[in-house]
């Protein structure tokens, strides 16, 4: 049973507009939440995180929102740039390991 779900396998956005990537989780015991970005033929790289005691964290163009009551996590990228085109994985953590979602392929078009 998938504990972390990214229901949109792909997303296409125009350059300069906002990209919103979504993630749902089932386990209310998760302590922290992260987003990773992955380019082809490379390993995932950490993007941004948020702990369960917060509902928003911002880092430049990237903002992560956490809605604990809905068990929902989202990543906002604004403005979107062509270099943001990649697969984005959300991940939830607790204990010794991370549990990843299935990923969303973001394509930012000119």
Partner 1 sequence: DAGITQSPRHKVTETGTPVTLRCHQTENHRYMYWYRQDPGHGLRLIHYSYGVKDTDKGEVSDGYSVSRSKTEDFLLTLESATSSQTSVYFCAISRRMENTEAFFGQGTRLTVV
Residues that bind partner 1 (CB under 8 A): 4, 6, 31-32, 34, 36, 41-46, 49, 89, 91, 93, 95-103
- In the complex with partner 1, the residue whose CB is nearer, 41 or 70, is 41
CB of 99 to partner 1, least distance (A): 7
Query: How would you classify residue 41: left for phi > 0, otherwise alpha for psi between -120 and 50, otherwise beta?
Result: left
Beta strands 104-109 and 10-14: pairing type?
parallel
CB of 71 to partner 1, least distance (A): 17
- In the complex with partner 1, the residue whose CB is nearer, 43 or 83, is 43
- In the complex with partner 1, the residue whose CB is nearer, 32 or 62, is 32
- In the complex with partner 1, the residue whose CB is nearer, 66 or 91, is 91
In angstroms, the CA 31 to CA 42 distance is: 27
Handedness of CA 38, 110, 49, 98 (dihedral sign): negative
CB of 100 to partner 1, least distance (A): 4
CB of 46 to partner 1, least distance (A): 5
Query: How would you classify residue 95: left for phi > 0, otherwise alpha for psi between -120 and 50, otherwise beta?
Result: left
In angstroms, the CA 26 to CA 4 distance is: 7
């Amino acid at each position: 049973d998938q504990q972390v779900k990214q229901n949109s396998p792909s997303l296409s956005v125009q350059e300069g507009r906002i990209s919103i990537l979504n993630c749902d989780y089932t386990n209310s015991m998760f302590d922290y939440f992260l987003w990773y970005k992955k380019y082809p033929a490379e390993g995932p790289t950490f993007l941004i995180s948020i702990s369960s005691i917060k509902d928003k964290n911002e880092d430049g163009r990237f903002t992560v929102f956490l809605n604990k009551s809905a068990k929902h996590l989202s990543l906002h990228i604004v403005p979107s740039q062509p270099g943001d085109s990649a697969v984005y994985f959300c991940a939830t953590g607790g204990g010794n390991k991370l549990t990843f979602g299935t990923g969303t392929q973001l394509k930012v078009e000119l």
